[in-house]
Amino acid sequence: EIVLTQSPGTLSLSPGERATLSCRASQSVSAGYLAWYQQKPGQAPRLLIYGASSRATGIPDRFSGSGSGTDFTLTISRLEPEDFAVYYCQQYGNSPLTFGGGTKVEIK
């Protein structure tokens, strides 16, 4: 099983600032099958990024993903008020599919 470790656990930032979230895999993620999701309280996760760097439909371009192998990054270039949420990475190239533990982006 591929274990995904996200850091930091919590990121305290102000609107307008840049957020950089990390996801590290215990072994190489097949074909870059790494996704990022945003989750707000009481809601289902929402797909932001797939294939490590491709934005899902309707996702603003302030969200970007990068990385390969075992190290991946989600960057939010300028935080908007609606971006404060929990973010999860997921690898879907190997069974069992696994998720990271999440990074909470909170208002400073």
Partner 1 sequence: QLQLQESGPGLVKPSETLSLTCTVSGGSISSSSYYWGWIRQTPGKGLEWIGSIYYSGSTYYNPSLKSRVTISVDTSQNQFSLNLRSVTAADTAVYYCARGSGDLGSDYWGQGTLVTVSS
Q: Which of residues 19 and 38 has its CB atom nearest to partner 1 in the complex?
A: 38
Spatial distance between the Cα atoms of 20 and 3, rounded to a whole number of angstroms: 20
Residues making contact with partner 1 (CB under 8 A): 1, 33, 35, 37, 43-47, 50-51, 56-57, 88, 90, 92, 95-102
Label residue 23 exposed, middle or buried (CB < 10 Å: 0-12, 13-18, 19+).
buried
Q: Tell me how long the chain is.
A: 108
Pick the closer one to partner 1 by CB: 13 or 47. Answer: 47
- C-beta of 100: minimal distance to partner 1 in Å? 8
